[in-house]
Structure 1
Amino acid sequence: MHLLPHIRASWIPRGTRQQVATPGKNRQVTLFGALEMATGTWHYTLGRRSAAAFVVFLQMLLAAHPTAPVVAVLCDNDSIHHAKAVTAYLAGHPRLRLLFGARYSSHDNPVERIWAALKAHLANTAVTWPGRLRQVHAFFRQRSPTQMLTTAAPWSSPWLPRNYAQNFRSSA
């Protein structure tokens, strides 16, 4: 996620120029997120885009679900998800399973829909990068589990069983 303002379509009076202060370098932070599809509970962390940071996120997910027989995580095909450190961590934790979607089909991943909602929420807000981080945390704090499930639209994902739209609440 880029921490500088993301400018989309905007309106200004004719003959004037839009000015957005930027420091010259774009700061970035990686967001790791997971949605528990049965309850709508959202887990996320901010960090660097590295295999070590992803392993820390996986540890957080396992700690959040200590009694679950299996914790399945749907991932895109980013290189950090296939890194040696991640593979070694998975070998020592049989409860954790990574499922990989088809290449170039991020639209099928429910979490990608949440990222799109976050980016739409942050667009056209020119704040400092610490302010941007506060906006990210506020976005997730203000959303209820029901809103997260609705945003992710789990009933339209090809990864879930056909009757999932009817029974996703009963499994919670």
Structure 2
Amino acid sequence: MDEQESLPPHVLIFPLPLQGPVNSMFKLAELLCFSGLHITILLTENIHNRLVLHTDITSRFDQCPGFQIKTISDGLPDDHPRDGGKFMEVFESLRTKTKTLFKDMLTSDLLCFDLDGKERRRVSCIIADGILGFTCDVADEISVPIFCVRTISPCCLWIFFCLPKLIESGEYPFKG
């Protein structure tokens, strides 16, 4: 049996670099770790630095075997304000600059070892935020299965379900 095949499957999780999506994906990572999978959560350097500065992220996952955090550049300078008003710049930089870095990371051996130097499988599957469309392009190019999920609130999801009915009934767009 190939040595790689004896190792647990390796899932890479790539959340949108905003607080809500990152928190949701951390919960998913935690659940998947406890089911015996190796999990790598990929954060932008900016989000990782903020988590290290303002939380105890390193100890949160001490009880999760097979969990690791890796970072990737969002392509913007360190002093760029990544607040809500500038998020479209972050998103554009992710699409244009991070895509290449993401592909390089997945095709190199960088993710095949954890922080302690223990071997991991190559990435078996990617779970990415659905708004990060470039992750689908990369996954297709390197033939890795991908699941795109949206980390929106239940209220927002309900609006998506109801909006077609509002349009159909003539209640939206609002008149006057």
TM-score range, shorter chain: 0.3 to 0.5
TM-score (norm 2): 0.32
1 or 2, which has the higher helix percentage? 2
- TM-score (ref. length: structure 1): 0.33
